[in-house]
């Protein structure tokens, strides 16, 4: 096996590990988000939580999940954490958009949707940058 073939096989393995790392990070982000939302829904059922703070809670929970997922996505890479994290944030928001659009029957893209995609992608990128720079 020559060096070029060996390098190509290594690149394929690295890309495979990277794809798995991204998928795992997205899964972890939803494993954080869903229980937190369920607990919050339970709290809302039995308390007089102010309506005006609900959307803030949802956004903060979502963004924290995306930062953590961006961080996790960098476990097996040495560079471009911003890219991995950005992909994680974008895919997280895409899944969220598809689920909510299916639930409400409205697939329209408006200013709010675009803003959430941009914020999710940037937040994931920040998580990826932090993950790369704070590795042990």
DSSP-derived secondary structure letter, 52: G
Query: pTM for the complete prediction?
Result: 0.82
CA proximity to 72, closest of 132, 136, 119: 132
* Spatial distance between the Cα atoms of 103 and 69, rounded to a whole number of angstroms: 24
Q: What percent of the chain has pLDDT over 90?
A: 70
CA 14 to chain CA centroid, Å, is 21
The pLDDT value recorded for residue 67 is 96
Task: Please check whether residue 29 is in contact with residue 87, taking contact to mean a CB–CB distance below 8 angstroms.
Answer: no
Residue 55 CB neighbour total at 10 angstroms: 9
For residue 98, pLDDT beyond 90? yes
- Tens of pLDDT, residue by residue over 126-136, are 999 999 998 75
- Tens of pLDDT, residue by residue over 11-46, are 655 666 688 889 999 999 999 999 999 999 999 999
């Amino acid at each position: 096996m020559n060096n070029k073939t060996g390098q190509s096989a290594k690149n394929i393995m690295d890309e495979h590990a990277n794809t798995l790392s991204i998928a795992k990070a997205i899964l972890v982000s939803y494993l954080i988000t869903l229980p937190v939302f369920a607990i919050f829904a339970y709290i809302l059922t039995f308390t007089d939580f102010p309506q005006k703070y609900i959307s803030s809670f949802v956004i903060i929970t979502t963004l924290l999940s995306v930062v953590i997922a961006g961080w996790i996505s960098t476990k097996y890479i040495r560079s471009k954490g911003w890219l991995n994290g950005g992909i994680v944030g974008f895919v997280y928001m895409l899944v969220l958009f598809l689920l909510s659009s299916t639930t409400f029957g409205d697939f329209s893209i408006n200013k709010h949707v675009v803003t959430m995609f941009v914020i999710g992608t940037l937040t994931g990128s920040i998580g990826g940058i932090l993950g790369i720079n704070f590795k042990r």
